[in-house]
Amino acid sequence: MRDPDGLLARAGVRGDPNADQHFLIDDRVLDRLPTYATAIDADLSHVLEIGAGPGALTDRLCRVADRVTAVERDPDLVSFLRREFADEIADGTLSVVEGDALDVSLPEFTACLSNLPYGVSSQIAFRLFPRKRPLVLMFQREFAERMVAEPNTPEYGRLSVSAQHYADPEIVETVPKEAFSPPPAVESALVRARPRDPEYTVSDEAFFLRFVKALFTQRRKTLRNAIRNTGHISGLEDPDAVVEAADEDLMGRRAGTLAPTEFAALCELALERGEPG
């Protein structure tokens, strides 16, 4: 097993917080991370890693997966990975892709295990969720807690509803700052997301996600006012028609009290009555 500190030394790099680089160096966390996928019998025939850095997690993934595709945007680290893992690349176990994970073409992976760059973790996560594959991803702890939050809690919001639309996310481990080099300003958490179909149906998924986003921009308002105030976000041409058709008690509630199933039902009503553009 490659030593994380040794990899950093051979790479000749130091993490740069300004470039969103916080390398995971704790052997114990690195060793546990793949087990969160194997514990649910995730298919590891082709694992995707985003933000490979100097390769400490890459090394562990190559030992449990048939194939690994590692995406890294730093050209110096890409060159190092290709030297350090030349044997794994030669035998077809590893492919290293240079580029930004928000822009590059992602392969047809079977699972994704990654220490994500926190500045773009939300965008990356919602690029991955629709693929309906098992995920084990490192996030800022606050972000992770919002992802798994339940209705009627302070953390519950657009992120909770959107993530839980695609998967069943759970925090499997909180990770201290000292597990990284350099240490980030906040604690982190590993989230395991098992893909599943939601308990409801929506006829227009893009509108559903946009509608949820709109209502949470006015989470302190009643739904009656939130729907009327956010037509420019949701795309509703006639928000008043939705309010008038909805249950009066429901319109007196706030977005943070609605379960995803209730959002879905309200979304279908909005599609029917609100003439979304």
H-only helix segments in 65-116: 75-84, 86-90
Of the candidates 152, 144, 157, 148, the one whose C-alpha atom is nearest the C-alpha of residue 215 is 157
Residue 115 annotated as lining a ligand binding site: yes
Instruction: Return d(Cα 2, Cα 58) in angstroms, integer.
Output: 10
| C-alpha–C-alpha distance, residues 27 and 31, integer Å | 6
Q: Is 22 annotated as a binding residue?
A: yes
Give the integer Cα–Cα distance in Å for 69 and 71: 7
229 annotated as ligand-binding: no
Specify the DSSP element, H or E, that contains 98. Answer: strand 94-98
7 is in an annotated binding site: no
- Alpha carbon 266 to its chain centroid, in Å, reads 25
d(CA 218, CA 239): 14
> For 84, how many CA atoms within 13 A lie in the half-sphere containing its CB?
26
254 vs 266: CA distance, rounded Å:
13
> 248: helix, coil or strand?
helix
Q: How many helices (H) and strands (E) does the chain have?
A: 15, 9
Give the annotated binding-site residues. Answer: 22, 24, 51, 72, 100, 115
Give the annotated binding-site residues for S-adenosyl-L-methionine. Answer: 22, 24, 51, 72, 100, 115
